[in-house]
Structure 1
Amino acid sequence: MREFEQLTSVEMANEFISRHRLSFLYISMTGCSVCHALQPQVQILLSKYPEIQLGAINAQEVPAVAGSFSVFTAPVLLLYVEGREYIREARIVHLDLLDEKIRKIYDLVTGQSSDETVK
């Protein structure tokens, strides 16, 4: 299973997003039980989408993240396509709905069905 790249500054997060055509940012906080329970589930879900690069940043360790990414709660899940935000989910995330949203964008951007990449 692919790991999240740990980002330690807003600059690193912005560079991560601009460096990859498809990037996923997982913003969490220390001591957030929802954040820690959800991250491995999101990691498993995103294994179906090999072209999406995974990044994680802790908003408690990097407080500037809140202002830069308009984060008011945690966790926040962001999908970027060519540097532009396409999906934003926060706090309570329904994984099947998130999967459906990601699949539609992924299939359009990559020109392939995510179902094909799993086989």
Structure 2
Amino acid sequence: MDKLYKKDIIDNLIKENDIVLIYFGNEGCGVCNILKPRVREMLNSYPKIKLVEIEVDKNLEASAQFNIFTIPAILVFIQGKESIREARYINLEEIDNNIKRYYELFY
């Protein structure tokens, strides 16, 4: 999992990969700490998806760029476009089902 802090690096990553999942969290957030390993585990089934972790307290610019107002938050970009956005109460099973459909189209 990468920890990216520059806007241009994040933008390039989204442009260069078919599917990118960005996980917004914070080390002080208990829910984030529980959810983060579950997200990693889920993505083991999708090795071609780029996973990026952004700690909101260390990257206010990215939080503002993506309009993140609550954590945890998951954004999935498919061919450069935001296709999935979940925040606060995140249903990983639903996200997994949505990702699976897109993943099967591309790979």
TM above 0.5, one fold? yes
Bigger relative CO (Cα 8 Å, ≥ 6 apart): 2
Counterpart of 2:91 in structure 1 is 94
TM-score normalised by the chain length of structure 1: 0.83
Asked if the contact 1:10/1:62 (under 8 Å) is kept, the reply is no
5+ residue gaps in structure 1? 111-119
Structure 2: which amino acid aligns with 1:102? I
Match of 1:24 among 10, 15, 21: 21
Deviation at residue 36 of structure 1 after TM alignment = 1.1
1:77 aligns with 2:43: no
Asked if the contact 2:5/2:62 (under 8 Å) is kept, the reply is no
Counterpart of 2:104 in structure 1 is 107
Counterpart of 1:8 in structure 2 is 5
Structure 2: which amino acid aligns with 1:65? A
Deviation at residue 18 of structure 1 after TM alignment = 1.5
Asked if the contact 2:3/2:52 (under 8 Å) is kept, the reply is yes
Structure 1: which amino acid aligns with 2:106? V
Deviation at residue 50 of structure 1 after TM alignment = 1.0
Match of 1:41 among 38, 41, 45: 38
Asked if the contact 2:19/2:50 (under 8 Å) is kept, the reply is yes
Deviation at residue 30 of structure 1 after TM alignment = 3.3
1:50 aligns with 2:47: yes
Deviation at residue 57 of structure 1 after TM alignment = 0.9
Structure 2: which amino acid aligns with 1:22? I
User: Matched residues in 2 for 1:47 and 1:65: separation?
Assistant: 25
Structure 1: which amino acid aligns with 2:55? N
User: Matched residues in 2 for 1:21 and 1:109: separation?
Assistant: 8
Farther off after superposition, 6-15 or 52-61? 6-15
TM-score normalised by the chain length of structure 2: 0.92
Give the number of the structure whose alpha-carbon radius of gyration is greater: 1
Asked if the contact 1:25/1:56 (under 8 Å) is kept, the reply is yes
Paired positions, count: 107
RMSD: 1.2
